[in-house]
Amino acid sequence: MQGTSPNTASDRTLSNGPPLAVLFDAYGTLFDVYSVAQLAEELFPGRGQALSVLWRDKQIEYTRLVTTCNHGAHYQPFSVLTRAALVYAIKKIVVSDPSKSAAGQFDQNFEENHGPQVQRLLDQYQQLNAFPENLCVLQELKTRGIPTGILSNGDQAMLDAGVQSAGFSDLLAHVISVDPIRKFKTHPDAYGLGEQATGLAAPDILFVSSNAWDALAATWFGYQTLWVNRYRLPFEELGTLPTRTGHDLRAVLDFFS
């Protein structure tokens, strides 16, 4: 079920009552994608923070490129795009001008010089730090008998590794990857996977994301939405607001108070 009517209030009345299930975005919402900056700084002193930011931005850009271009003919799994985005970030921020190298020599030198750092950062991405309040919120939702899950761009293996590392394995009824449909969020088919997994219509599901673009697209699809605005940023300026906004994951529990 796809919603079409935009809401105009930052905390609109929940016309469908409390949600019957909660689905979380993974990267940026449950798992801190910028927690890799510490290792990046160790590997590339003075450039770790910038590297982690560009890595994330390019990763999301690649998901949009492969979803929207040529009807998805260039789709590659999230793990592949994550590596490609990391290599791009290192080449841009760390490596000297590639135009000074002979054709084909630059990539060979890159792998020889930076392959081990790339692998260490990718390994770290499998066990990103979870935000500190997340475990308690998931435990409380389970205590209340509210089904929860992840709906993410991540490959299934990536998600399973992150969930296990964070200690969330017994707290999530669903860990949903978009990979089987070969379409990343914000494609509506990606959000539709949440309905299929839970057996519920979108208005009965709360979708939670720290990514404003994700919260917006989920709102357009028809979910009740919570934007977790950890960094006190403005929301997207496209005329639609999420159902609610909070500053950490504890705001989820306000939907059930």
Domain end: 99, 125, 151, which one?
A: 125
Kindly state whether residue 15 falls inside one of the protein's structural domains.
no
Is the domain of 163 the same as that of 113? no
CATH number at residue 91: 1.10.150.240
pLDDT score recorded for residue 17: 82
At 109 the pLDDT is 75
Residue 79 lies in a domain: yes
pTM attached to this predicted model = 0.89
Q: Taking Cα atoms as reference points, which of 212, 242, 243, 240 lies closest to residue 6?
A: 240
What are the tens digits of pLDDT across the range 163-212? 999 999 999 999 999 999 999 999 999 999 999 999 999 999 999 999 99
Distance CA(26)–CA(177), nearest Å, equals 10
Which of the listed residues 125, 160, 182 is the one where a domain comes to its end? 125
The CATH number covering residue 171 comes to: 3.40.50.1000
Under 8 Å between Cβ of 198 and 189: no
Give backbone dihedrals phi and psi of 147, rounded to 5 degrees, phi first. Answer: -65, 140
Residues known to be catalytic = 25
The number of distinct structural domains making up the chain is 2
Above pLDDT 70, what percent of the chain?
89
Does residue 111 fall inside a structural domain?
yes
- Is there a single domain that holds both residue 133 and residue 231? yes
Query: Looking at the DSSP assignment, which residues form a beta bridge with residue 225?
Result: 207
- Check whether 96 has a pLDDT greater than 70: no
Residue 45, pLDDT > 90, answer yes
145 token code pair: 């008998």
Query: Do 30 and 131 contact (CB within 8 A), yes or no?
Result: yes
With vertex at residue 154, the alpha carbon angle to CA 1 and CA 46, rounded to the nearest 5 degrees, is 130
Domain that holds residue 187: 21-32+129-256
Work out the average pLDDT over 160-165.
96
| Residue 16: inside a domain | no
Q: Which two tokens mark 141?
A: 């939702």
- pLDDT, greater one: 73 or 15: 73
Residue 18 scores a pLDDT above 60:
yes
pLDDT band for position 100 (cuts 50, 70, 90): low
Do 207 and 238 share a domain, yes or no? yes
Asked whether residue 61 is domain-assigned, the answer is yes
What is the SS3 assignment for 152? strand
Could you say which of 86, 106, 125 is where a domain stops? 125
User: Interior CA angle at 35 toward 181 and 49, to 5°?
Assistant: 110
Q: What is the DSSP letter of 215?
A: H
CB 76 within 8 A of CB 119: no
